[in-house]
Amino acid sequence: MFTRCKVQGLSMTIHAIGDSTVQIWPTWNYPKAGWGQVINYFFNSNNVAIDDAAVGGTSAKSFCDSNWAAAKSKVKSGDFVFIQFGINDSNTNAAIHTDPETTFKGYLSNYVNETRALGANPVLITPMRADIGSSGTPYGIYALAVRELAVALNVPLIDLDVACGSLIYSVGTNYATQFLYMNFPAGVYSNYPTGSSDTTHFQGMGAIAMAKLVVQGIQNLGLDTNVCKLIPSLNPTCKVSFSSGGSSGVVTLSDYFPAGISVTAQALPNSGFKFAGWTGDLISTNAVATFIMGETQKNITASFSPQ
């Protein structure tokens, strides 16, 4: 299909730089996760490695000032640098703040130019649709700036803002806040005894969803002479079909996952019902249960009973 891209078996690294929505989170923050810590499962590790250098709380400016030198030292010719900032850039702290039209674009341009000088390939990524429960968030301004800069510098773009917005629209805001973002009541996760009402960061399934959108963005860039080199190394995925009896509760939506990744099955009973258990390819009485995806399709059913 893509005749300009006849590359197989190359050893390349995707270096991900960005903020907390990209970073690898320590285990004591589970289930909080960034897309950079799960995207490796989507690639054949013999051909494509992932170096997640993202640091939580950073902006395009503060990462450049404190973290870019170390990240850049690992970049070799032929690699990729995936660049995603904008969530923290509106912070009024002078060490973090950037203006979307001037300094923000300036720092992103620096990443692009220095990546190209190393013989590597920059890819710009807009910030995703965070804080979906709030109004007047500034991330859209920074997403627009990324789009404009991608055109000005002729850099491949993955528009995670638009893709994430479309995903939220398709699954519904209520589902997204409860199944994808770090928004859950007390008693669900031991690391969060009082629960969490964070609609900026992602649970593991949200991080997987964002990683899938990044992968889709790579596939959409199949005509790009460089990005297309990543496509032959994408791993196959298999479907997990989730179901429940009638309207007794809401469960994780069916989706496709690569082998080796940790999938979370979650069941939320409707008023007047309680969760009874998982059957099929997952046997558990826990309303939130995880399993490691294999190489074959799975069918999982949630059962509920009247209270």
| Residue 5 in domain | no
Structure-token match 């009485």, residue found:
285
- Of 214-218, 236-240, 243-247, 285-289, least confident by mean pLDDT is 243-247
| Number of domains making up the chain | 2
Cβ neighbours of 64 (radius 10 Å): 22
State the pLDDT at residue 1. 38
**Is 148 inside a domain boundary?**
yes
Examine the domain organization and report whether 112 and 199 are in the same domain. yes
Residue 283 counted as domain residue: yes
Between CA 263 and CA 296 the distance in angstroms is: 14
Contact in structure between 84 and 125 (CB atoms under 8 Å): yes
Structure-token pair, residue 272: 């007047």
Least Cα distance to 15 among 34, 36, 32, 35 occurs for 36
Nearest to 56 by CA among 97, 95, 19, 17: 19
59 and 146 both lie in a single domain: yes
Say whether 127 sits in a helix, a strand or coil.
Answer: coil
Task: Please state the pTM of the whole predicted model.
Answer: 0.94
Share of the chain above pLDDT 90, in %: 90
Range of the structural domain that residue 32 is part of: 12-233
Q: Read off the pLDDT of residues 190-210 as tens digits, 9 standing for 90 and up.
A: 999 999 999 899 999 999 999
Structure token pair of residue 211: 């990683």
Would you say 224 and 156 are in contact if contact means Cβ atoms under 8 Å apart? Answer: yes
Percent of the chain's residues with pLDDT above 70: 94
Same domain, 206 and 263: no
Cis peptide before 269 (omega within 30 of 0): no
Spatial neighbors of 25 by CB under 8 A, at least 6 apart, are 32, 33, 34, 37, 56
With 70 as the cut, is the pLDDT of residue 31 above it? yes
89 and 186 both lie in a single domain: yes
For residue 57, being part of any structural domain is answered with yes
- pLDDT attached to residue 264: 98
User: Residue 133: which pLDDT band, with cuts at 50, 70 and 90?
Assistant: low
In this structure, the number of other CB atoms found within 10 A of the CB of residue 66 comes to 12
Q: Which of 213, 233, 253 is the last residue of a domain?
A: 233
Residues 139 and 243 in one domain: no
Shared domain check, 245 and 103: no
Q: What is the mean pLDDT of residues 158-176?
A: 94
pLDDT for residue 129: 81
Residues 98 and 177 reside in one and the same domain: yes
The domain spanning residue 92 has which CATH number?
Answer: 3.40.50.1110
- C-alpha to C-alpha distance for 44 and 39, rounded to whole angstroms: 11
Q: How far is residue 138's CA from residue 87's CA, in Å, rounded to a whole number? A: 8
| Same domain membership, residue 221 and residue 137 | yes
Same domain, 92 and 168: yes
Is 258 within the bounds of a domain? Answer: yes
Q: What is the pLDDT of residue 235?
A: 98
Output b/e per residue, 261-293; b: 16+ Cβ within 10 A.
Answer: bbbbbbbbbeeebebbbbeebbebeebbbbbeb
- Share the mean pLDDT of the chain: 93
Residue 287 lies in a domain: yes
Q: Which residues pair with 103 in a beta bridge?
A: none
Q: Examine the domain organization and report whether 160 and 278 are in the same domain.
A: no
Based on the domain organization, do 144 and 210 belong to the same domain? yes
Pull the structure tokens for residue 207: 């991080």
Task: Please tell me whether residues 116 and 173 are part of one structural domain.
Answer: yes
